[in-house]
Chain A
Amino acid sequence: MRFLKETNIDFLSMRRFGFVISGSFILAGIVSLLLQGGPLLSIDFTGGTLAQIRFEEAPDIAKVRSALEALDVGIGEVQTFGTPNEILIRLQLSQNAENLTTELKAALQAQFPGQSIDFRRVETVGPKIGSELKGKAFFAVFSAIIGILIYISIRFELKFAIGAIAALIHDVLITLGVFSILNYEISLAIIAAFLTIVGYSLNDTIVVFDRVRENMKLLKNIDSETIFNKSINESLSRTIITSLTTFAVVFILYIAGGEVIRYFAFAMIVGVIVGTYSSIYVASPVVFLWQQRMTPQSK
C-alpha cells in the first residue's frame, strides 16, 4: 500500500506561511527564555543535589518541605515524580552536603515514622563540575554544528550547508523554547537529545537535498523553484514514513520508558516533529532564497 501517490504540492510558495509559523514559535521561545533569564538548568550544570525518594504511601509534600527547612540545607524544591508515592527533591549546593543523604533520611524518617523510605537515586554535583559541564555542553553542540557544516559543504555546496544549519538551529531553538515555556529543566540527557535532534533533523534535510542535487543534474533547464518542489514531493513519502516510525518509538519511550528518561523522550518528540517540518519548510526555502539572491549578482 501507499499513503501518497504522486504528489505535487507547491511547498515553496508556502514558505512565507512557514516562516511566520517558525518565526512566531522561535520568538515565543526567546521571549520565554528572556523572561526567565535563560534556560532552566539542572543540577548537572548549576551544581546541587537531586534525590528521588519513594515512600510506602503518598507523602504529604508540605511535611517533606518542613523536614527540609528544619535541616537548613538551602533552598529546596519538592515535587512528586511519576507516581504519587515518589518525590523528587532538588537542593541548591550547600556547605554540609557531605552527609546530606544521611541527614535527609533521618529527617524524613522522623516526619514519616513507620514508613519505609527508599532513596532510589541521589545525585550530587559540585559547582566546579557544573560550570565545566556547561562549557563542555556548549562546546559539544557548537563543534557538532561546525563538523556538519564542513561535511555538507564538502559533499554539497555551501548554500546547502547554510540551509541545513538554518534548519537545525531552528529545531534546537524551538525545542529549547518549548522547554523554557513548559519550565522543563535542561540536563545532560537533554543536551544529548539536542545533539540527536541535530543529527536527525539533518538526516531528513539531506535526503531532500540529495534529491535536489540529483534533479539539478538531470533537469538542467528547469527553474530551481520547480526542482525544489519536485524534489520535496518525490522524497515526501520517505520523509513521512521515517518520521512516523521514529515518532512512534520516541512516543512509546515517552509513555512507557519510565520517569527518568521521560524528558529526554519529550525533547526527542519535539525534535522529530520540528525536524520533519523544518526539512521541508525551512531548509529548502532558505537554500532557494540564498540561491535567488546570489545568482543575479554572479551573472
Chain B
Amino acid sequence: MIVIGVVLLWALYALFPTIKYNTLSGNEKTSMEEEGILEQLEKKTIRRGLDLQGGMHIVLEVDIPTLVENLASNKNNRFYEVFDKVKTGDEMSAEDFINQFATEAKSQDLRLNRYYMDYGSDPVSIQAALEDEATDAINRALEILQNRIDEFGVSEPTIQKQGNRRVIVELAGIQDPERARSLLQSTALLEFALLKDGAVTQNLLTRVDRILKGSDDLEDLLETKEDSTNEEQTPIETETRVTDEEEVSLTELFGTTEEDTTAEDTTEVLVDKDLFEERPFSSLLRQIGNDLGVPEQNMRAVTKIMEMSNIQDILKGGEGRLSMSKEKDTWTLPEGGSESFYRMYHLEAEAGLTGGVIEEALATLYNGQPIVTLSMNSEGAKTWSRMTGANVGRRLAILLDGNVHMAPVIRTKISDGQTQVEGFANMNEAKDIAIVLRAGALPAPVDIIEERTVGPSLGQDSIDQGTQSIIIGLVLVLAFMVFYYRGAGLIASFAVLWNLILVLSILAMLKATLTLPGIAGLILTVGMAVDANVIIFERIREELGKGKTPRSAIDSGYSRAITTIVDANVTTILAALVLMQFGTGPIRGFAVVLFWGIATSMFTAIFTTRTIFNLISAKRDLKTLSI
C-alpha cells in the first residue's frame, strides 16, 4: 500500500504541469506570457515536433575534401591528380576522406609535406594534423551555425552534432526556407583579391582559345552544331530565333540554359560562327569598358568551358582565377536593343586578405542601396593598409563566396581598417550577409544532405486529425470495455485514460517532442493499454469460473497474470528501444511514445487498477464481482 501510495503521489506530481497548462484559457495564457511565467510552464509541457508545428529539418555535412584542399598550399597538378581521384570516390562512401587521401598519396608517392609544411614533416603527423583540423572544423561550424541562427531569430532552434561530419539543424516555424538555407550554407568567405593586368588577362584568354581550338571536344561540338543548324527548320525554333546563316546556336552544344523555361527570346546563344571556330572562348565574351562581360545567354556555355579539366589545369597551374560578378548588368547594344550580362574578372590566385579579420559588419542603406560596412581588427587593418598602399591605381575585387560584389580602383591607402561592400539584391540579403560575416566564416563549405520542410498548414491538419483519431479511438475502446466487462470495464477505462495522461506527462517531464508518428504511438497505446487489463480480467473470470470468491479470484488472477503481462510486453519494449536507437526525428518520437505507453500500461494495470479492486473488495464483503 505504501508503494502504491508513493507511486500515485508521484504520478499526480507528474501530471500537474500538463493539466495546468491544458486547462489554461487563452486569456490566462496571454496574461501569463506577459508575466513571463508561460514560458516557464511551456518548458514543462510537451514540445510539438516540426511535423506538427511546421518547420525545417536540415542535415548539413561539412565538406572535408574542400577543407583539405583549402589547407594545402602550393597546390599543383600532381596534387590534384591524387586529390580528385579520392574526392570522386568519396561521393558515395561514408569512409573517412582524410584517411583515404593519405593512403592514396602514399601509394602514388605524393609527398604530402610539400603541400602541408605547416602541419608536420612526415605523412603520419600530417594525417593526424588534418584529422585534428577536420574535428576542429566541425566544432567551429557548429558554433558558427549556432551564432548565425541565434542572430536570425528563430524560437527554440535545435542544433546538434551527428557523428563526425554532420550537423542537424531544426528550425521551427520557418516561413522562408530559401533564406534559411542560404544563411546556413553560406561559407561567408570574404576575400579581397587584386585584379590581374589587362594584358595578362588577354594572354590567358588566348591560351584558352588555343587549347579549345585544337580540342576534340570542340570538333565534336561543332559537328553537332552544323547538323542541328541544317535540320532546324522547325517553326517553333525559327519563331524565337534571329536567324542568320553565319550565326550558330550554342544551345545544342552546351545543353539548354536554365532560362529556357522562363524567358522567351533569350534562349539562343548567338555568336559569330567563324569567330567561334577561331576563338571558341573569347568569342563568347564582350568587351564592356574595361571589363569583360558574359552575356546572360552565354553564361552556361562559359561556365561549361571553365569547368573543362584542361582549362581547370591552366587555372590551377597558377594563372589566377576567373570569377563572375554576383549581380548582372544591362548594356545597350551598338546595333540597338539591350543585353544582360555578368562581368568576369581575372584575379590573382591568392586573396590578399580574407574575412577572418572582420570584427564588425553592419547592413545599412547608402544612397538608397543596401551596403554592408566592415571594420577589421588591428591585424587586418595593417594588412589592408599595406595592400591598398602598395597597389594604388590597381583594381581590387571584393568577393563573397566566390562571387565578385564590386571591383573598385584603389584610390588611396586605407589605414583605418574600414571598408564597405555593395552589390546586394535587397536589404534582407545585406542583413543576412552581415550576420554571417559577424558570426565568422565557416572553415569549410557545408552541404545540405537532407532537408525536410513541413508547412504550418499541414502541421495543423496533422494535429487536428491526430486528436480526432485519439478521441474516436478512445471513445470506441472505452465503450467496448464497459460494455464487455461492466464494472471492471469502468476500472479499465479509468486505467486507459489515466495511462494516456501519464504518458503525456512523462513526455513533458522528459522534454520529449511529440511528432505525428508519436500521435500514432499514442493511439496505439490506447489500443494496446487495455491488453494488460484484458489479461487480468480474463484470468479473474477464469478463477471465478472455478468457484472462487471475488476476493481470492482477484488475488490469484492478478498474481498469475503478472508474469504473462511482463513477458508479453518486454518484446514490444525491446522493439521500441531498438527503434529509439535507430530512428531520428519523427520515428524516434514514435519509439519514445510506444516505449512509455507500454511501460505505463503495465504499471497502470498492475498497480493502479489493483488498488481500485482492493478498495472495492475491502469495503464490503463482496459476493459478486461485476466483470
Asked if B8 is an interface residue, CB under 8 A from chain A, the answer is no
Number of A interface residues in the complex (CB < 8 A):
81
**Distance in Å: Cβ of A72 to nearest Cβ of chain B:** 7
> In the docked arrangement, what's the CA distance between A247 and B461, Å?
23
Is the pair B451, A120 in contact by a Cβ cutoff of 8 Å? no
Is the pair A151, B92 in contact by a Cβ cutoff of 8 Å? no
Is the pair A198, B527 in contact by a Cβ cutoff of 8 Å? no
**Distance in Å: Cβ of B332 to nearest Cβ of chain A:** 28
Q: Inside 8 A of B178's CB, which chain A residues have their CB?
A: 99, 101-102
Is the pair A242, B534 in contact by a Cβ cutoff of 8 Å? yes
Q: Which of B452, B524, B578 contacts A250 (CB 8 A)?
A: B524
Is the pair A252, B472 in contact by a Cβ cutoff of 8 Å? yes
Asked if A119 is an interface residue, CB under 8 A from chain B, the answer is yes
Is the pair A203, B571 in contact by a Cβ cutoff of 8 Å? yes
**Distance in Å: Cβ of B93 to nearest Cβ of chain A:** 8
Q: Which of the candidate stretches B375-383, B388-396, B436-444, B580-588 sits at the interface with the other chain?
A: B580-588
Is the pair A245, B535 in contact by a Cβ cutoff of 8 Å? no
> In the docked arrangement, what's the CA distance between A207 and B468, Å?
31
Is the pair B473, A253 in contact by a Cβ cutoff of 8 Å? yes
Is the pair A137, B582 in contact by a Cβ cutoff of 8 Å? yes
Find residues 80-119 in chain B having any chain A CB closer than 8 Å to their own CB: 91-92, 94
> In the docked arrangement, what's the CA distance between A118 and B456, Å?
10
Is the pair B578, A120 in contact by a Cβ cutoff of 8 Å? no
Asked if B480 is an interface residue, CB under 8 A from chain A, the answer is yes
> In the docked arrangement, what's the CA distance between A81 and B131, Å?
47
> In the docked arrangement, what's the CA distance between A137 and B455, Å?
27
Q: Which of A102, A260, A265 contacts B458 (CB 8 A)?
A: A260
**Distance in Å: Cβ of A129 to nearest Cβ of chain B:** 5
> In the docked arrangement, what's the CA distance between A199 and B524, Å?
12
Interface string of B242-266 (1 = CB under 8 A from A): 0000000000000010101110000
A122-B453, A195-B579, A252-B473 as given contacts; A206 in contact with B567, CB under 8 Å = yes
Residue of A nearest to B563 (CB): A210
**Distance in Å: Cβ of B583 to nearest Cβ of chain A:** 7
Asked if B299 is an interface residue, CB under 8 A from chain A, the answer is no
Q: Which of the candidate stretches B224-232, B276-284, B287-295, B515-523 sits at the interface with the other chain?
A: B515-523
Report the number of A-B residue pairs with Cβ-Cβ less than 8 Å: 226
Q: Inside 8 A of A75's CB, which chain B residues have their CB?
A: none
Interface string of B512-556 (1 = CB under 8 A from A): 000011011001101110110011001001100000000000000
Q: Which of the candidate stretches A21-29, A175-183, A220-228, A233-241 sits at the interface with the other chain?
A: A233-241
> In the docked arrangement, what's the CA distance between A148 and B583, Å?
19
**Distance in Å: Cβ of A6 to nearest Cβ of chain B:** 8
A110-B262, A245-B477, A253-B473 as given contacts; A202 in contact with B534, CB under 8 Å = no
**Distance in Å: Cβ of B313 to nearest Cβ of chain A:** 23
Is the pair B531, A120 in contact by a Cβ cutoff of 8 Å? no
Is the pair B473, A238 in contact by a Cβ cutoff of 8 Å? no
Is the pair B578, A140 in contact by a Cβ cutoff of 8 Å? yes
Asked if B125 is an interface residue, CB under 8 A from chain A, the answer is no
> In the docked arrangement, what's the CA distance between A285 and B450, Å?
46
Which has the most chain A C-beta neighbours within 10 Å: B450, B486, B575, B594?
Answer: B575
Is the pair A199, B576 in contact by a Cβ cutoff of 8 Å? yes
> In the docked arrangement, what's the CA distance between A76 and B484, Å?
51
A122-B177, A246-B528 as given contacts; A256 in contact with B261, CB under 8 Å = no
> In the docked arrangement, what's the CA distance between A256 and B92, Å?
40
> In the docked arrangement, what's the CA distance between A191 and B481, Å?
31
Is the pair B575, A196 in contact by a Cβ cutoff of 8 Å? yes
Find residues 18-38 in chain A having any chain B CB closer than 8 Å to their own CB: none
Find residues 203-223 in chain B having any chain A CB closer than 8 Å to their own CB: none
**Distance in Å: Cβ of B516 to nearest Cβ of chain A:** 6
Is the pair A249, B527 in contact by a Cβ cutoff of 8 Å? yes
Q: Which of B94, B262, B526, B587 contacts A249 (CB 8 A)?
A: B526
Is the pair A256, B472 in contact by a Cβ cutoff of 8 Å? yes
**Distance in Å: Cβ of A137 to nearest Cβ of chain B:** 7
> In the docked arrangement, what's the CA distance between A120 and B586, Å?
17
Q: Inside 8 A of B573's CB, which chain A residues have their CB?
A: 199
Q: Inside 8 A of B177's CB, which chain A residues have their CB?
A: 101, 122
Is the pair A257, B454 in contact by a Cβ cutoff of 8 Å? no
Asked if B16 is an interface residue, CB under 8 A from chain A, the answer is no
**Distance in Å: Cβ of A168 to nearest Cβ of chain B:** 9
Asked if B194 is an interface residue, CB under 8 A from chain A, the answer is no
Asked if A261 is an interface residue, CB under 8 A from chain B, the answer is yes
A52-B458, A249-B526 as given contacts; A195 in contact with B469, CB under 8 Å = no
Q: Inside 8 A of B531's CB, which chain A residues have their CB?
A: 203, 238, 242, 245-246
**Distance in Å: Cβ of B454 to nearest Cβ of chain A:** 5
Asked if A143 is an interface residue, CB under 8 A from chain B, the answer is yes
Is the pair B530, A242 in contact by a Cβ cutoff of 8 Å? yes
Q: Inside 8 A of B454's CB, which chain A residues have their CB?
A: 120-121
Q: Inside 8 A of A1's CB, which chain B residues have their CB?
A: 483-484, 486
Residue of A nearest to B522 (CB): A249
> In the docked arrangement, what's the CA distance between A77 and B511, Å?
39
Is the pair B534, A261 in contact by a Cβ cutoff of 8 Å? no
Find residues 482-526 in chain B having any chain A CB closer than 8 Å to their own CB: 483-484, 486, 516-517, 519-520, 523-524, 526
Is the pair B452, A122 in contact by a Cβ cutoff of 8 Å? yes
Asked if A78 is an interface residue, CB under 8 A from chain B, the answer is no
Find residues 181-195 in chain B having any chain A CB closer than 8 Å to their own CB: none
**Distance in Å: Cβ of B503 to nearest Cβ of chain A:** 14
**Distance in Å: Cβ of A218 to nearest Cβ of chain B:** 11
Q: Which of B469, B480, B571, B582 contacts A245 (CB 8 A)?
A: B480
Is the pair A242, B567 in contact by a Cβ cutoff of 8 Å? no
A189-B587, A238-B534 as given contacts; A257 in contact with B469, CB under 8 Å = yes
Q: Inside 8 A of B301's CB, which chain A residues have their CB?
A: none
Asked if B3 is an interface residue, CB under 8 A from chain A, the answer is no
A1-B483, A123-B453, A188-B583 as given contacts; A253 in contact with B574, CB under 8 Å = no
Is the pair A265, B568 in contact by a Cβ cutoff of 8 Å? no
Q: Which of A2, A140, A253 contacts B523 (CB 8 A)?
A: A253
A128-B94, A196-B524, A199-B574 as given contacts; A189 in contact with B586, CB under 8 Å = yes
Is the pair B590, A250 in contact by a Cβ cutoff of 8 Å? no
Is the pair A265, B520 in contact by a Cβ cutoff of 8 Å? yes
Is the pair A261, B520 in contact by a Cβ cutoff of 8 Å? yes
Asked if B591 is an interface residue, CB under 8 A from chain A, the answer is yes
Is the pair B465, A151 in contact by a Cβ cutoff of 8 Å? no
Asked if B476 is an interface residue, CB under 8 A from chain A, the answer is yes
Asked if A264 is an interface residue, CB under 8 A from chain B, the answer is yes
Which has the most chain A C-beta neighbours within 10 Å: B462, B524, B541?
Answer: B524
> In the docked arrangement, what's the CA distance between A119 and B54, Å?
11
> In the docked arrangement, what's the CA distance between A191 and B582, Å?
10
> In the docked arrangement, what's the CA distance between A110 and B263, Å?
12
**Distance in Å: Cβ of A172 to nearest Cβ of chain B:** 11
A206-B568, A252-B476 as given contacts; A257 in contact with B455, CB under 8 Å = no
> In the docked arrangement, what's the CA distance between A125 and B451, Å?
6
Which has the most chain A C-beta neighbours within 10 Å: B59, B468, B526, B571?
Answer: B571
Find residues 55-104 in chain A having any chain B CB closer than 8 Å to their own CB: 70-72, 96, 98-99, 101-102
A192-B517, A250-B527 as given contacts; A199 in contact with B575, CB under 8 Å = yes
Asked if A132 is an interface residue, CB under 8 A from chain B, the answer is yes
Asked if A136 is an interface residue, CB under 8 A from chain B, the answer is yes
Q: Inside 8 A of B516's CB, which chain A residues have their CB?
A: 260-261
A192-B583, A246-B524, A264-B517 as given contacts; A121 in contact with B462, CB under 8 Å = no
Q: Inside 8 A of B22's CB, which chain A residues have their CB?
A: none
**Distance in Å: Cβ of A28 to nearest Cβ of chain B:** 26
A124-B450, A199-B576, A260-B462 as given contacts; A268 in contact with B524, CB under 8 Å = yes
Query: Can you report 8 A-B residue pairs in the complex whose CB atoms are below 8 A from each other?
Result: A124-B448, A139-B582, A192-B583, A196-B579, A202-B568, A202-B575, A234-B542, A265-B520
10 tightest A-B contacts by CB?
A199-B572, A199-B575, A249-B527, A140-B582, A126-B449, A258-B465, A202-B571, A246-B527, A120-B458, A249-B473
Supplied contacts A128-B61, A131-B92, A248-B476, 16 more A-B pairs, CB within 8 Å: A1-B483, A98-B448, A101-B178, A124-B452, A140-B578, A151-B571, A151-B574, A195-B578, A199-B574, A200-B528, A203-B572, A245-B534, A248-B480, A253-B469, A257-B469, A258-B462
